[in-house]
Amino acid sequence: MKKVVVLVLALTTIVGTSFAQGTKPLKKIILSNAYYTAPYCAAFNPAAIAKAKELGYDLQILDGEGNQQKQLEQARLAIAEAAGFIYFPADVAGSVPIVEALNKAKLPYVIVNNYTLDALKTNNVPCYVGTNVKQHGHNMATLIKQLLPNGGNLVAIEGTAGHAQTIAFNEAFDEDFKGTNIKFLDKQPADFDADKALNKMNDFLTKYGNKIDVIVSHDGGMLAGVISALRAAGKLGKIPIVCAGSNKIIYDAIKAGYVYGTSTQDPGVEGALAVSTLIDIINGKKVPQWVELPIKPATKATIDNYNWF
C-alpha cells in the first residue's frame, strides 16, 4: 500500500511540475471543412492550424467531404469533446440541422467562408467569419463593365447549381446589369471541376463562337478547364475572362493576359481570422455577428498588392 501511495505522489509531482513548466496540454478545437481538399483550403487549413497553435490551442481539421450529414456528426463530436467548433459548410441550405445542434448545445462556434447575411440572421448564427459572397459578383460585374462599356455577350462557367455562391453571384449580376446592354448567352454549372469546365467551355465555343465577348468563371479551379478549352480552340487570349478567387492559376493567367481581372479572397487571412475569432468567443469576448473578410477586384496593374495561393 505504501508503494502505491508513493507512486501516486510521484505522478502528482510530475504532473504538477509539467503544468508549472508550461507544458499544459493545449485546448482542443475542431474545424469541419466541407472542401478539405480544395486548392483554397490548401492555404486556409495551415493558416488556421498555425494561428491556433500561436494562441495555445490544438486545432483538429476534419474532412466534411461536402456532406452535411457527415458535418453534423463532426459537430456532435465537437460538442462532446472540444472547446469550440469552426464550421466550413458545404452549403447554406443544408446547414440548419448543424446550426440548431450547435445552438442547442451552446458550444462556442463560428461559420466561415460561405454564408449569406440573410441566412445568418434567419438561422440565428452567432458569428460568421467571411465575405459577403454577393460582393464577389458585384466585383466581377465592375470588371465586366470596364471591358464592355457599350454592352456585350457573356457566358458563365458556374459552380454547383443551387449553391449559395452561384445564387449570390447571379443576384449581383442581375442587379448590376439591369438597364445595360450586357447579357448572358448561357450559364452552365461545372461543379467546381476543371474537366467539367473544359467540356462546358467547348460546348459554348461550338454553340456561340464569335458571339462571346467575355467569359465568366466562378472560381480559379474551373478556370484551368476554361483555359485548356480556349487553348485547344486557338482562342486563348482572344476572349477576355473575368473570375473570382486568388489562386496561382488566376495570378499567372492575369500576368499572361488571358484573364482581365478577378475578385480576390485571401484564404490564409480567413483561416487565421476564423480561429482567432472563435478563441475570442471561447474566452468570453464580445465579437460582431459578421466578422468581415474584405474582398476587392484586381487586374494586372494591381495583382501584386494581394496574396495568392
pLDDT tens digits for range 127-183: 999 999 999 999 999 999 999 999 999 999 999 998 889 999 999 999 999 999 999
pLDDT at res. 26: 66
3-state SS of the chain is CHHHHHHHHHHHHHHHHHHHCCCCCCEEEEEEECCCCCHHHHHHHHHHHHHHHHCCEEEEEEECCCCHHHHHHHHHHHHHHCCEEEEECCCCHHHHHHHHHHHHHCCCEEEECCCCHHHHHHCCCCCEEECCHHHHHHHHHHHHHHHCCCCEEEEEEECCCCCHHHHHHHHHHHHHHCCCCEEEEEEEECCCCHHHHHHHHHHHHHHHHHHCCEEEECCHHHHHHHHHHHHHCCCCCCCCEEEECCCHHHHHHHHHCCEEEEECCCHHHHHHHHHHHHHHHHCCCCCCCEEECCCCEEECCCHHHCCCC
The more confidently predicted of residues 133 and 79 is 79
Q: Which domains does the chain have, with CATH numbers?
A: 25-131+266-294 (3.40.50.2300), 134-264 (3.40.50.2300)
Q: Is the pTM of this model over 0.85?
A: no
pLDDT tens digits for range 175-233: 999 999 999 999 999 998 999 999 999 999 999 999 999 999 999 999 999 999 999 99
pLDDT at res. 23: 42
Backbone phi and psi for residue 228, each to the nearest 5 degrees, phi listed first: -60, -40
The more confidently predicted of residues 109 and 4 is 109
pLDDT at res. 164: 85
Mean pLDDT of the chain: 91
Over range 281-306, report the average pLDDT. Answer: 96
Instruction: Quickly count: other Cβ atoms within 10 Å of residue 84's Cβ.
Output: 23
pLDDT at res. 2: 40
pLDDT at res. 13: 36
Q: How would residue 114 be classed by pLDDT, with cut points 50, 70 and 90?
A: confident
pLDDT at res. 168: 93
